[in-house]
Structure 1
Amino acid sequence: MNSDLHRSEFELAASAEWSDTRWARIRPVYEASFPEHIRKPERIVRSMLGRMDAFLHEGTLNGQVCSMALTGLSSDRRLLIVDYLAVSPSFRERGIGRRTVLELAAWARETHGVQGLLIEAEDDDSPEGKNRVKFWSGCGFESTDYVHSYIWVPEKYRAMLLDLQDKDASRQNELPRDGKKLFAYIEAFHKASFAR
């Protein structure tokens, strides 16, 4: 981790309630990090916080917004689905993304008792795509073999899982490692996100 981050005050705040003020701080990071055809519109994010077990996370470094995440619990509450996670362009390459993931995992486990974090990463051979998978792998996420295609976006995606269960614990409730099964959680989350 970058030494700048060790000497600095990083905090990750979570909220299940909509706040225009918080969104005004987070939105520039969100919009700078995700193309319009990939990101959920503000009205959907607002609705998610009102209807679902969804959370908006704001990462700050010495009081300045440096990262954000939009997450939600799976219907069985075993997984926290990381819908979006981004670092402000002016704060990249400083270990903030990894720190955001670590804090998010600790919060999810302590606050909601989740067994793992689940993301969908773009599956492409571009340098950006390879860097994304490398980042998530470096944070402890395991990639699955299954590649998922959506009808409304051209990109293909791969599920990646960060298992938060104790290694010595009983494995009778082990999380699935099959990409199709993991995408069932992701698709149910997206369907609930867009429900009226």
Structure 2
Amino acid sequence: MTRRAAQVALKEAGVTPKDIKVCELHDCFSANELILLEGLGFSEPGKAHHMVRNGDITYGGKGPIVNPSGGLISKGHPLGATGLAQCAELTWQLRGWANNRLAEGSDVALQHNLGLGGAVVVTVYKRADGAKNQKASDEEVKQSSQFDYNPAVEARYVSKEDGDKVRSKTVRSEYALGDTLEKIQSRL
């Protein structure tokens, strides 16, 4: 499934596995990473372990930087939020916001996610301007975003005011933000 999904996504994006500079893949188990390196086309059949041993999937290696976020084993696997976390990481990478874990010079990224052995999603991300990423300072991130901090390197509590900054000005719904803050705070 992964191989077929990757082939379709890469073809649609007009890129090859060699064009991918950074990848977030679904490493729910350490063995999965080896299987997926091959399935995504990053290694020849039966050779993925060489990529790992040679350091090819980390900074300074020959292949794409894989799971600069730390992957699921490192940061956790929040099931429904896994894909969103991968998407955020790759967006931060391509924008240059990822600070000390930045895959410098990236212009194409790949996201791989799967669910319970029955579904696979492969998404290719490209910078809209076609340029390679450049490291942005935290100050530059603050100036170019709705945040007063760099969300790629710092987690902060989201306030109602933060939510209001990104909500529609004309069609507002209280469904998501209604009493959520109070419920969360009552459980802390």
Structure-1-length-normalised TM-score: 0.30
- Largest Rg, 1 or 2: 2
Q: Compare the two structures and name the one with the higher strand fraction.
A: 1
